[in-house]
Structures are given as structure tokens and as C-alpha cells.
């Protein structure tokens, strides 16, 4: 995870007065709501790079709509399905993070 935040903090007598954030390069970077910048390549890569994970919003997803999962799919807690290859791969695919649950992953590694 590469996060760049070129900000200037103005501190007077130990109190934060205000913060000035640098402007991201819109051609090569995505601007997180906290003002930090990440490379466009890190947006929609199934890894949360912005502090609140907003870089993974509005992305084409690996999650199928709610319905019946096929034999090669894993059912997330909300009923959506993901491909089995995305389970326990240290990337959060289910909205409830069930695909990375330690109890499930410990069973798969046996």
C-alpha cells in the first residue's frame, strides 16, 4: 500500500490549527477523502488503500449477485457468491469479510 500525503500542519502551542493538503495529480493519482493520494493503479484492486476503503467503491466486483452459488463459489454472509479462488487469499472480497475469516481459512489449509 502506497499512500502519499503531502500536507502542512500548522501547530501553535501544541494545538493543531489547520492542515493544508497537497493536491493529487488527477492524471496519475486518486484523491482519498482525507486528502491523501494513491496511484490510479491502486484503485479497484481489491485492497483498501485509502483509510476508509473508498478506493474500492464503485468498482466492477468479483462478487456475483445474491442467488444460488455454484460448486466453485463461496457464499458470503450476505448471500452473494465469490469464486473459491478468492477465499483465504488475504484480500477482502465479501463485504462482511467472511472470505478471510480465520476459522474458515484454518479449515481450508488442512
List the chain pLDDT tens, one digit each, 110 residues.
444 544 544 455 555 444 445 689 989 999 999 999 999 988 887 778 888 888 878 876 655 565 688 899 999 888 888 999 999 999 989 888 899 999 999 987 64
Long-range CB pairs of 1-9 (<8 Å, 24+ gap) are: 1/38, 1/42, 1/47, 1/49, 2/38, 2/39, 2/42, 2/49, 3/32, 3/36, 3/37, 3/38, 3/49, 3/50, 4/29, 4/36, 4/37, 4/38, 5/34, 5/35, 5/36, 5/37, 6/37, 7/35
CATH of 7-56, one of 3.40.30, 1.10.10, 4.10.400, 1.10.357: 4.10.400
| CATH fold for domain 73-108 | Low-density Lipoprotein Receptor (4.10.400)
Amino acid at each position: 500500500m502506497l499512500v502519499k500525503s503531502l500536507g502542512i500542519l500548522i501547530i501553535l502551542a501544541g494545538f493543531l490549527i489547520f492542515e493544508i493538503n497537497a493536491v493529487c495529480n488527477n492524471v496519475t493519482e486518486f484523491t482519498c477523502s482525507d486528502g491523501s493520494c494513491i496511484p490510479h493503479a491502486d484503485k479497484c484492486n481489491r485492497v483498501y488503500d485509502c483509510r476508509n476503503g473508498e478506493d474500492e467503491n464503485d468498482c466492477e466486483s468479483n462478487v456475483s449477485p445474491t442467488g444460488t452459488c455454484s460448486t466453485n463459489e463461496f457464499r458470503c454472509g450476505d448471500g452473494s457468491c465469490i469464486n473459491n479462488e478468492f477465499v483465504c487469499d488475504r484480500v477482502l472480497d465479501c463485504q462482511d469479510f467472511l472470505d478471510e475469516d480465520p476459522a474458515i481459512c484454518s479449515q481450508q489449509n488442512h
